[in-house]
Amino acid sequence: MAARLTGRPVSGTRSTSGSPAEVLLDGGTPVMVKRGGAPGAVRAEVAGLRWLAAAEAVRVPEVLACDERWMVTERVPTGSPGPLAALHFGHALAALHAAGAPHFGSAPPDGPEGAFIGLAPMRNTPGADWPCWYAGHRVLPYVRAAVDGGTLRPGEAAVFERVCERLPDLAGPAEPPARLHGDLWNGNVLWGSDGEVRVIDPAAHGGHRETDLAMLRLFGCPHLDRILAGYQEAAPLADGWAERVSLHQLFPLLVHVVLFGRGYAEQALGAARDALAR
């Protein structure tokens, strides 16, 4: 597949278990080959990577070739996380967000409206008001899917509905749409051996910048304190941002409830109740 897409012979493989797989092109160039899990997934990911790269802020692996089902990207040699790289990543992440988006929910140029976050469908439907858009397109669709799938009880859905009703008061000061990675958990942060951070597997869209930062905190990230320090140096967050973390974590937590079942339901409910208590 890599040979067909790049026009270069494959001389060997280093890892072929699962996707992405690492292969060697003729001359020893390592690349990553990834197969899209659903129609439109590759198009969405490639458009997202290119949109993030266009900001010239956070680095991403270069897309070398793609078609409707497969993509080939450069392989990033990885090293150990370090505090200086984390600080610089915070600066770069602030610059990425500042590059902006036309609307909340805007898809990347050439990206489909029907995109994905991990394996879950994610619709990029533009909106002008973040609280209304977040409730209608990032919280309630996954609440409904979780209830339909039996991983949330109908009575529990009411907790999330109350959060959505109160979102205009909970959201903090209005901000312009930010250019988000959209799935910025630790597994999508690559600490390069050259001391620079790259990000992979975006679910890129226009959103609130605090959402990316809340997702970094959700599953833990090395040197997160230094990332946040760098971010605050470059683009200070609005007062009360730390109290809004649980609000912004509702989206990824509900995605996990839909994808992985009841085990995440209590965590999502806890975040919703925490948001309501603020």
**Cα 77 from chain centroid?**
21
Q: Which residues is 63 bridged to in the sheet?
A: 73
A 10 A CB-CB count for 130 gives: 25
Backbone angles phi, psi at 169, to 5 degrees: -85, -25
Q: Which residue has the tokens 């991983």?
A: 151
Backbone angles phi, psi at 121, to 5 degrees: -60, 145
| pLDDT at residue 17, as a whole number | 57
* 101-148 pLDDT, tens digit each: 999 999 999 999 999 999 999 999 999 999 999 999 999 999 999 999
**Dihedral over Cα of 152, 154, 157, 159: its sign:** negative
Alpha carbons 70 and 220: distance in angstroms, whole number: 30
A 10 A CB-CB count for 239 gives: 9
Fold of 77-277: Aminoglycoside 3'-phosphotransferase; Chain: A, domain 2 (3.90.1200)
| Extents of the domains making up the chain | 77-277
Q: Which of 129, 148, 183, 212 is the catalytic position?
A: 183
A 10 A CB-CB count for 128 gives: 10
pLDDT, one tens digit for every residue, the chain (278 residues) = 788 878 887 887 776 556 788 998 888 889 999 998 888 999 999 999 999 999 999 999 999 999 999 999 999 999 999 999 999 999 999 999 999 999 999 999 999 999 999 999 999 999 999 999 999 999 999 999 999 999 999 999 999 999 999 999 999 999 999 999 999 999 999 999 999 999 999 999 999 999 999 999 999 999 999 999 999 999 999 999 999 999 999 999 999 999 999 999 999 999 999 999 98
pTM beyond 0.75: yes
Alpha carbons 30 and 21: distance in angstroms, whole number: 10
Contacts of residue 85, Cβ cutoff 8 Å, sequence gap at least 6: 191, 192, 195, 196, 197, 223
Q: Is 183 a catalytic residue?
A: yes
Structure tokens at 154: 């109908």
